[in-house]
């Protein structure tokens, strides 16, 4: 049985641990996958944000470009009609101090069919819009086109030398993150890589000299928590499942152990019972046979009958004891009245003349109980203290005191004591501390069970106290 039990426990433990390990493994894998998805999304969001910031800057420059070509003190826009083709040709000419390079540029517009000479404000606006559009297109591709030297110089300076504002990068990054439903705090300050902080891939803000890159990257503070948050139901579910499995495992284990304990107790009980009943039964059989076989004289018959009665009385007592204990704990309630602890003890002490008692119990200490039940409970305790004692001089110490609500009683003896590991078992019905096959002290493991039931029926408690020598019980009964 023990072997099977151990095997079952080992298998259950392996199963429970296996489930826990698998759940932990899957949770870890999900976390890793989620983290990879997170880093891919954040990197993508950051790259898009930097690109958008560049575009925003390009658009800004295009608008600056519009203001430059609209400024007549900087350039002049004129138009004339080409006689051969019949189209309007626009000319952009630098004004002010002469520059070294190209001074002017002329072009006709594809969809502009009107013939305008000299230029009108509407035609001028159409031309400027067209110029801005193509300048923006070029800039987006990374080109700076020198329409005239001065315009080209300005455009080049604005595009290559004025850096993209990190505030725009920040704004665009926030937009991109929220588009992907990622809620993390971040900084664009160039802080070095630290354990536990997520950093995006670096993006280059430099456009002119690619050999001198101007890196920008984002450092996210609470990325781990964010990823964990996303997995909270999956991980929470796993934890609940594992806890449930462990709970079931514990519960079944408890049931198994209780079953095992019960079966051990049952075997013990049967062994004790057989032993207890066997002797009187054998004696009864022998005596009855003797009476039947031989024709004895009257005194001899009386002697045999006396033996029969004695053995029958013994058997009767035994059954009574079992029946009484089976009923114990319920009868106490019906007839409760104040009982003086001292008087109960004095009564009992008289039954044990050879025992050396030390009793420190004030006379007025009373509890409300059934006198017979309480008497039997104390009798069981004293009986045990004597029964299990191996000393030539048995000593029992009983001390009682009162608190506001309870009567507290301590009973100790100078016997072999009870291992504290048996603290919870000794009060179980039919439980006896295993002593191998020794049957020198008789009992059915019902004495302490009766005591506990009686005390508990009064709303009190009894427990075995750890003590160096002998056994000590602490009893607490409400007044």
Residues that bind ligand ADP (CB under 6 A): 380, 384-385, 388, 413, 415-416, 418, 426, 432-433, 443-449, 471
Choose among 208, 184, 195, 192: nearest CA to 46.
184
To ligand ADP, the closest distance from the beta carbon of 268 in angstroms equals 9
If the CB atoms of residues 240 and 433 are measured against ligand ADP, the closer one turns out to be: 433
To ligand ADP, the closest distance from the beta carbon of 425 in angstroms equals 8
Give the integer Cα–Cα distance in Å for 179 and 177. Answer: 5
Residues in the chain: 479
- Beta pairing, strands 395-402 & 356-360: parallel
If the CB atoms of residues 158 and 418 are measured against ligand ADP, the closer one turns out to be: 418
If the CB atoms of residues 61 and 377 are measured against ligand ADP, the closer one turns out to be: 377
Give the integer Cα–Cα distance in Å for 326 and 263. Answer: 18
If the CB atoms of residues 57 and 432 are measured against ligand ADP, the closer one turns out to be: 432
If the CB atoms of residues 217 and 388 are measured against ligand ADP, the closer one turns out to be: 388
To ligand ADP, the closest distance from the beta carbon of 285 in angstroms equals 26
1 near 266, Cβ under 8 Å?
Answer: no
Q: Is 154 helix (H, G, I), strand (E, B) or coil?
A: helix
The beta-carbon contacts of 421-427 under 8 Å, at least 24 apart in sequence, are 422/464, 423/463, 423/464, 425/261, 426/464, 427/451, 427/452, 427/462
Q: DSSP letter at 111?
A: T
To ligand ADP, the closest distance from the beta carbon of 262 in angstroms equals 16
How far is residue 358 from each of residues 334, 346, 403, 413, 448, measured CA to CA in Å? 32, 11, 21, 10, 22
If the CB atoms of residues 443 and 460 are measured against ligand ADP, the closer one turns out to be: 443
To ligand ADP, the closest distance from the beta carbon of 479 in angstroms equals 26
Q: DSSP letter at 437?
A: B
- Contact residues for 203 (Cβ-Cβ < 8 A; gap 6+): 46, 47, 50, 215, 216, 217
The alpha helices in 357-431, defined as continuous H runs, are 371-387
Phi then psi dihedrals of residue 238, to 5 deg? -60, -45
To ligand ADP, the closest distance from the beta carbon of 323 in angstroms equals 15
If the CB atoms of residues 373 and 443 are measured against ligand ADP, the closer one turns out to be: 443
To ligand ADP, the closest distance from the beta carbon of 411 in angstroms equals 9
To ligand ADP, the closest distance from the beta carbon of 463 in angstroms equals 13
What value, to the nearest 5°, has the Cα angle with vertex 145 and ends 144 and 147?
A: 145
Cα 100 vs. chain centroid, distance in angstroms? 78
Choose among 84, 137, 131, 125: nearest CA to 106.
131
Cα 444 vs. chain centroid, distance in angstroms? 45
To ligand ADP, the closest distance from the beta carbon of 448 in angstroms equals 3
Q: Positive or negative, the Cα torsion across 383, 384, 388, 392?
A: negative
112 near 158, Cβ under 8 Å?
Answer: no
To ligand ADP, the closest distance from the beta carbon of 18 in angstroms equals 40
If the CB atoms of residues 312 and 433 are measured against ligand ADP, the closer one turns out to be: 433
If the CB atoms of residues 416 and 459 are measured against ligand ADP, the closer one turns out to be: 416
């Amino acid at each position: 049985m023990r072997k099977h039990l151990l095997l079952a426990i080992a298998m259950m433990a392996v199963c429970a641990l296996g489930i826990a390990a698998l759940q932990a493994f899957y949770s870890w894998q999900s976390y890793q996958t989620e983290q990879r998805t997170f880093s891919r999304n954040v990197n993508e969001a950051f790259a898009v944000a930097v690109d958008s910031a560049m575009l925003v800057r390009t658009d800004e420059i295009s608008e600056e470009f519009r203001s430059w070509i609209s400024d007549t003190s900087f350039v002049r826009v004129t138009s004339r009609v080409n006689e051969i083709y019949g189209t309007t040709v626009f000319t952009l000419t630098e004004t002010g101090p002469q520059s070294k390079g190209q001074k002017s540029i002329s072009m006709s517009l594809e969809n502009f069919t009107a013939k305008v000479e000299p230029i009108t404000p509407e035609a001028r606006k159409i031309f400027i819009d067209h110029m801005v559009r193509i300048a923006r297109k070029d800039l987006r591709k990374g080109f700076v086109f020198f329409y005239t030297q001065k315009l080209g110089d300005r455009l080049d300076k604005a595009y290559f030398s004025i850096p993209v504002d990190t505030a725009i990068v920040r704004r665009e990054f926030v937009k991109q993150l929220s588009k992907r439903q990622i809620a993390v705090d971040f900084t664009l300050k160039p802080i070095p890589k630290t354990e536990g902080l997520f950093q995006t891939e670096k993006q280059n803000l430099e456009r002119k000299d690619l050999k001198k890159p101007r890196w920008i990257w984002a450092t996210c503070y609470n990325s781990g928590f964010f990823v964990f948050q996303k997995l909270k139901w999956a991980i929470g579910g796993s934890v609940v499942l594992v806890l449930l499995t462990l709970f079931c495992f514990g519960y079944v284990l408890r049931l198994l152990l209780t079953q095992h304990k019960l079966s051990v107790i049952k075997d013990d009980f049967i062994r004790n019972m057989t032993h207890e009943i066997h002797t009187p039964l054998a004696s009864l059989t022998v005596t009855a046979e003797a009476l039947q076989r031989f024709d004895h004289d009257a005194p001899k018959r009386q002697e045999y009958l006396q033996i029969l009665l004695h053995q029958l009385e013994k058997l009767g007592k035994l059954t009574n004891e079992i029946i009484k204990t089976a009923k114990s704990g319920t009868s106490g309630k019906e007839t409760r009245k104040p009982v003086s602890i001292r008087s109960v003890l004095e009564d009992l002490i008289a039954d044990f003349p050879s025992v050396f008692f030390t009793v420190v119990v004030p006379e007025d200490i009373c509890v409300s109980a059934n006198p017979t039940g309480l008497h039997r409970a104390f009798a069981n305790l004293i009986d045990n203290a004597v029964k299990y004692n191996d000393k030539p001089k048995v000593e029992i110490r009983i001390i009682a005191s009162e608190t506001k609500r309870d009567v507290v009683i301590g009973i100790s003896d100078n016997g072999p004591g009870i291992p504290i590991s048996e603290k919870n078992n000794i009060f179980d019905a039919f439980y006896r501390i295993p002593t191998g096959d020794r049957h020198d002290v008789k009992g059915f493991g019902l004495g302490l069970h009766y005591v506990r039931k009686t005390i508990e029926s009064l709303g009190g408690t009894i427990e075995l106290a750890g003590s160096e020598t002998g056994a000590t019980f602490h009893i607490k009964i409400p007044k």
